[in-house]
Chains A and B, each alone.
Chain A
C-alpha cells in the first residue's frame, strides 16, 4: 500500500560551487511559518489549563517537601508487614489482579481478534468489530470499575473484571496484526497433504502465532500492573486504595512505603518482561 514518495529533483547542475548549491537549498518557509503559527495558537489556547495554584489552603511546596521526605523515609513497619494490610500482600494482590485480568482479557479478546482480521472475515464485518473494540477501549478504566462494583461488590474481583475488559482493546489490536500476518501458503500445503481442520490449526496456525500472542500478553501484563493502581481508587482492590487513604490522611511515610514497593515491583516486572519478550522475538 506504500505510495512512492514524490521528491523534488535535486538542484544540482554540473559545475556548481558549494556556495551556489547552498543558495539553492530547499526552503520550506511556508511550512515552517504555518507550523509556528499553529503551535503558538495551541500553546496560547491550551496554556489556560495552567491556572496556577487554584484552591489550595495549604502551601504547595510544604506538601511537596513532605511527600519527598516521606518517599525517602518510608514506614518500615508497613513495608515489611506480612499481614493482609502490609505492602507485600497488597503487591501480591495487585500482581494477581493484573495476571488474571490479562488472562481473562486474552480469552475475551480472541473472538474480537478473529472477527476483526480482514483475512478471516470480509472487510465491512472486520470494520464493525474494530469500531466496537475502539469503543470498548475509549471508556475510562474507572467507569468500568464503578460499573463492576455494582456487580460483584467492592474488592479485587471487581478489579479483575475491570482489568480484563480494559485489556480487550490493546490485546485484540495486536492479535489482529499477527493474524493478518499469517502465511496462507502453509495452510494450503497442509490442505494439499490432506490434513483435517484440527490438524491445520494445530500445525499450521498455532506455531505461527503463539510467540506473537505470548509476547503481547506479557507486555499487556506489564501495563496492567500499572493500571491496577487506578482501580484501588474506586475501591476495586489492589494497592491504590491504601495509597489514597494514606495520602488523604497526610501520612506521607506510609504513602512513601507503598510507592517504594510499587516502583520496585514494576521495575522488576518490566525487566523480566523485556527479557522474556526478547527471547520470544529471537525464538528462544
Chain B
C-alpha cells in the first residue's frame, strides 16, 4: 500500500500544538475499481444476462409452485433414505472426530517438537479440508461402491479435517503446567496428554464436533446425488421424473429434521459452555 500513498498524497493537518498528522487517502476508489473489474470479468465469463432472467425467471417459480401441495402419500418411502442420511452423518462425524484427536495432537507445536511432523500433518488437514465433500464422496463411491459406506467415509474425512484444525489450534492455547508436571513425574507423552490436556480442551472439542455434525446433516443430504446413499438419492430421481409434489414432501421432511437436529445440538452446546 506504500505505492498507493505515493500516488495519492495523504492530507496533512497541523494541530494546535504544532504537531503534523496525516490523513491517508481513502482506499475505497481502489477497492471499488477492483470489484468493478472482477464483476465485469465474471459477467463476461458466466454469461450473466438479466433479460434471460426476466423472461424465463418465472420458470423457477413454476417449479416451486408445482411442489405445492406436497404429496403426503409418499412419506412412507422417505423414512428409509432419511434415516440413512442421519446414520451417515452420525457415524461419519463420530469416526472423523475420534480420529482427529491423535492426529491433532501430532500437529500441536507445544506437544510435538518435531517441525517436519507438524508441517506434514497440517498439510494433510489443509488438503482434506480443501477437497469438497461431494468430490470425496464421488471418489469413495469408486472405492467402496455405491451406498452409504461411501457417504459415511466422505463425511468422516470432512469432519476429521474440520474438527482436527480447530482442535490443534485449541491445544496450542492450553495451560501446559500440568502436562509438564506429569512428564516430569515420568508419564509418557500420550498418558500426560490424556490426563492433562484432554480435559482442558474437551468442552470446546465436543461443541465443535456437534456443530460440525449439524452441518453434516445438510451435506449428507447432497451426497445421494453421486450415489453415496441417503435422501439425495430419492431427491435426485424424483426431480428427474419431475414428480415435484414428491420433491416438495421430501424437502419439507428434510427441513423439519434439520430444524430438530439444530435445536438439539444448540441446546447441547449451550449446556457445554
Interface bits B221-242 vs A (CB < 8 Å: 1, else 0): 1100110010010011001000
CA distance A75 to B49 in the complex (A): 35
Q: Judging by beta carbons under 8 Å apart, are A100 and B48 in contact?
A: yes
Interface bits A46-59 vs B (CB < 8 Å: 1, else 0): 11111111111000
Interface bits B41-53 vs A (CB < 8 Å: 1, else 0): 1110111110011
Q: Judging by beta carbons under 8 Å apart, are B56 and A151 in contact?
A: yes
Count how many chain B residues have C-beta atoms less than 8 Å from C-beta atoms of the other chain: 62
**Chain B residue nearest to A47 in the complex (CB):** B91
Chain B binding surface, main DSSP class: helix
Q: Say whether A42 faces chain B, with CB atoms less than 8 Å apart.
A: yes
Q: Which of B11-19, B148-156, B174-182 contacts A (4 or more CB under 8 A)?
A: B148-156
* A227 neighbours in B (Cβ, 8 Å): 132
* B142 neighbours in A (Cβ, 8 Å): 60, 63, 67, 247
* A233 neighbours in B (Cβ, 8 Å): 134, 138, 225-226
Given B39, B53, B131, which contacts A152 in the complex, CB threshold below 8 Å? B53
Q: Say whether A148 faces chain B, with CB atoms less than 8 Å apart.
A: yes
Q: Judging by beta carbons under 8 Å apart, are A157 and B251 in contact?
A: no
- Distance to closest chain A CB from B145 (angstroms): 4
Given B63, B87, B232, which contacts A45 in the complex, CB threshold below 8 Å? B87
* B70 neighbours in A (Cβ, 8 Å): none
Can you name 20 A-B residue pairings with CB atoms under 8 Å? A49-B87, A50-B148, A50-B149, A51-B147, A53-B144, A54-B145, A61-B143, A93-B46, A96-B41, A139-B254, A147-B64, A155-B47, A157-B47, A157-B52, A160-B48, A229-B132, A229-B134, A230-B134, A234-B225, A267-B130
Residues of chain A from 27 to 47 with CB closer than 8 A to chain B in the complex: 42-43, 45-47
* B64 neighbours in A (Cβ, 8 Å): 147
- Distance to closest chain A CB from B104 (angstroms): 19
Q: Judging by beta carbons under 8 Å apart, are A140 and B39 in contact?
A: no
Given B41, B94, B145, B222, which contacts A55 in the complex, CB threshold below 8 Å? B145
Q: Judging by beta carbons under 8 Å apart, are B143 and A60 in contact?
A: yes
Q: Judging by beta carbons under 8 Å apart, are A138 and B59 in contact?
A: no
* B135 neighbours in A (Cβ, 8 Å): 229, 240, 243, 259
Q: Judging by beta carbons under 8 Å apart, are B239 and A159 in contact?
A: no
Q: Judging by beta carbons under 8 Å apart, are B86 and A99 in contact?
A: no
- Distance to closest chain A CB from B39 (angstroms): 7
* B46 neighbours in A (Cβ, 8 Å): 93, 96-97, 100, 155-157, 159-160, 237
Given B91, B225, B226, which contacts A49 in the complex, CB threshold below 8 Å? B91
Q: Judging by beta carbons under 8 Å apart, are A63 and B90 in contact?
A: no
Q: Say whether A128 faces chain B, with CB atoms less than 8 Å apart.
A: no
- Distance to closest chain A CB from B65 (angstroms): 12
CA distance A191 to B32 in the complex (A): 30
Q: Judging by beta carbons under 8 Å apart, are B134 and A262 in contact?
A: no
Q: Judging by beta carbons under 8 Å apart, are A157 and B88 in contact?
A: no
- Distance to closest chain B CB from A130 (angstroms): 11
* A190 neighbours in B (Cβ, 8 Å): none
CA distance A162 to B197 in the complex (A): 44
CA distance A54 to B147 in the complex (A): 7
- Distance to closest chain B CB from A104 (angstroms): 9
Given contacts A49-B88, A54-B146, A230-B132, whether A99 and B226 have CB atoms under 8 Å apart is no
Q: A53-B149, A150-B63 are in contact. List 7 more A-B contacts (CB 8 A).
A: A46-B87, A97-B46, A134-B255, A135-B255, A139-B251, A151-B56, A156-B46
Q: Judging by beta carbons under 8 Å apart, are A247 and B63 in contact?
A: no
Q: Say whether A64 faces chain B, with CB atoms less than 8 Å apart.
A: yes
- Distance to closest chain B CB from A48 (angstroms): 6
Q: Judging by beta carbons under 8 Å apart, are B143 and A64 in contact?
A: yes
Given A49, A67, A152, which contacts B148 in the complex, CB threshold below 8 Å? A49
* B146 neighbours in A (Cβ, 8 Å): 54-55
- Distance to closest chain A CB from B176 (angstroms): 23
Given A46, A52, A138, A226, which contacts B254 in the complex, CB threshold below 8 Å? A138
Q: Say whether A92 faces chain B, with CB atoms less than 8 Å apart.
A: yes
Q: Judging by beta carbons under 8 Å apart, are A262 and B45 in contact?
A: no
Residues of chain B from 57 to 113 with CB closer than 8 A to chain A in the complex: 57, 59-60, 63-64, 84, 86-88, 90-92, 94
Q: Say whether B126 faces chain A, with CB atoms less than 8 Å apart.
A: yes
* A270 neighbours in B (Cβ, 8 Å): 130
CA distance A51 to B141 in the complex (A): 13
Q: Judging by beta carbons under 8 Å apart, are A138 and B43 in contact?
A: no
* A56 neighbours in B (Cβ, 8 Å): 143-145
Q: Say whether B192 faces chain A, with CB atoms less than 8 Å apart.
A: no
Given A53, A140, A148, which contacts B222 in the complex, CB threshold below 8 Å? A140
Q: Say whether A78 faces chain B, with CB atoms less than 8 Å apart.
A: no
Q: Say whether A143 faces chain B, with CB atoms less than 8 Å apart.
A: yes
